[in-house]
Homo-oligomer: A and B are copies of this chain.
Amino acid sequence: MKEISDYSRMVEEAIAAKRYGAMRPSSLYEPVEYGLQKGGKRLRPVMLLMAGDAFGADTACLTDAAVGIEMFHNFTLLHDDVMDRSDMRRGRPTVHRRWDENTAILSGDTMLTLASSLMRQVPDRCLRGVLETFDAMAVEVYEGQRLDMDFEERNDVSVEQYLEMIEKKTSALLGASARIGAYIAGASEADCALMYEYGVKLGIAFQIQDDYLDLYGDPATFGKPIGGDVLNGKKTFLTVSALGLGDRVADEVRSGMALPADAEKIEKMRSVYDRAGIPEICREAIARYSGEAVAALNATAISEENRLPLEQLVDRLIHRRK
């Protein structure tokens, strides 16, 4: 039985074997390799490989698709970092800081086409289906990013709207990863749909966990400063949940968010959220969505033994500290 770490190693090796940094012109491809370098969780390609394995796929048919999914993810990071003016990612300068904005745009475009080309390496019998899932997922990711940008201008985003946004921006990619793995393995349409559900629900739990850890994580293990979302005035699951708890709490949230961006603001927002019971609301939501992910998994035809790594992935993400 393969462990999660076996799958991540397969992903690292498959990416390294592509040697994108050796391609010419290097001004186009070095940023591609840099963007793809180690440091991320490789969550999406690992999920694709696991899902394919669980349904008995030939690993050789999965590898390029797994690299393609990771390539797509990293393309979105290059462009999102330009759009968000983010200077650092995984402890290193972002591509548009290390090179320039035009490089991040153009090498990002290249990564999107390289991702499509990698997805295309599947056998004929699943070519159209894989590409349909991939393109539909990509459009959802753009729509999610657009909604996220539009929400920045608004103070009346509901919990439902926020969940729709993260489902598109974050979870659709996890859903597509799980679905594509199963699809390449020749799983039934019902099982493919359940695997998509597994990935999407896990993705929502993952994003809520992300929002929660940003304010409530342990500074010793979180890996970046606590309270970044509060300082950046970002709307998170914490914000929209508190805004939905009636006028008194909403007023406290709004006046807290209007404070200058310093340590006091972080303390103030934490105390508003604490009194409103937001940590419990987050933990309940994470448990609910991860439970739904496991339920979808249990409804598939995958044997109990083969389900194990996919269940471990849920545990790992829910109990992570960074």
**A residues bordering B, Cβ < 8 Å?**
24-25, 27-28, 79, 82-83, 102, 105-106, 108-110, 112-114, 116-117, 120, 124, 127-128, 131-132, 135, 138-139, 142-143, 145-147, 149-150
When distances are taken between beta carbons in the complex, the residues of chain B under 8 Å from A79 are 105-106, 109
When distances are taken between beta carbons in the complex, the residues of chain B under 8 Å from A27 are 146, 149-150
Q: Which of B108, B117, B124, B150 is close to A25, meaning CB atoms less than 8 Å apart?
A: B150
Q: With contacts A113-B138, A120-B131 known, what are 5 further pairs, Cβ within 8 A?
A: A24-B143, A79-B106, A79-B109, A106-B142, A131-B131
A258 CA to B224 CA, complexed, in Å: 48
A106 CA to B124 CA, complexed, in Å: 31
A114 CA to B131 CA, complexed, in Å: 12
Instruction: Name the distance in Å between A172's Cβ and chain B's nearest Cβ.
Output: 13
Q: Name the CB-closest residue of B to A118.
A: B135
When distances are taken between beta carbons in the complex, the residues of chain B under 8 Å from A145 are 106
When distances are taken between beta carbons in the complex, the residues of chain B under 8 Å from A112 are 109, 112-113
Instruction: Name the distance in Å between A86's Cβ and chain B's nearest Cβ.
Output: 13
When distances are taken between beta carbons in the complex, the residues of chain B under 8 Å from A132 are 120
When distances are taken between beta carbons in the complex, the residues of chain B under 8 Å from A117 are 135, 139
Q: Name the CB-closest residue of B to A85.
A: B102
A209 CA to B238 CA, complexed, in Å: 59
Instruction: Name the distance in Å between A224's Cβ and chain B's nearest Cβ.
Output: 23
B131 engages A105 (CB within 8 Å): no
Q: Which of B28, B83, B135, B147 is close to A113, meaning CB atoms less than 8 Å apart?
A: B135
A135 engages B120 (CB within 8 Å): yes
B105 engages A25 (CB within 8 Å): no
B28 engages A146 (CB within 8 Å): yes
Q: Name the CB-closest residue of B to A110.
A: B142
13 A-B pairs within 8 Å (CB atoms) are namely A25-B147, A28-B142, A79-B109, A82-B105, A83-B102, A83-B106, A102-B149, A106-B145, A106-B149, A109-B112, A110-B142, A114-B139, A131-B131
Instruction: Name the distance in Å between A45's Cβ and chain B's nearest Cβ.
Output: 19
* Candidate in A24, A128, A143 with the most chain B CB atoms within 10 angstroms: A143
Q: Name the CB-closest residue of B to A28.
A: B146
B106 engages A28 (CB within 8 Å): no
Q: Which of B105, B116, B128 is close to A116, meaning CB atoms less than 8 Å apart?
A: B116
A142 CA to B109 CA, complexed, in Å: 8
Q: Name the CB-closest residue of B to A79.
A: B105
A113 engages B128 (CB within 8 Å): no
A25 CA to B144 CA, complexed, in Å: 9
Instruction: Name the distance in Å between A284's Cβ and chain B's nearest Cβ.
Output: 29
The 5 closest A-B pairs by CB, nearest first: A28-B146, A113-B138, A83-B102, A110-B142, A117-B135
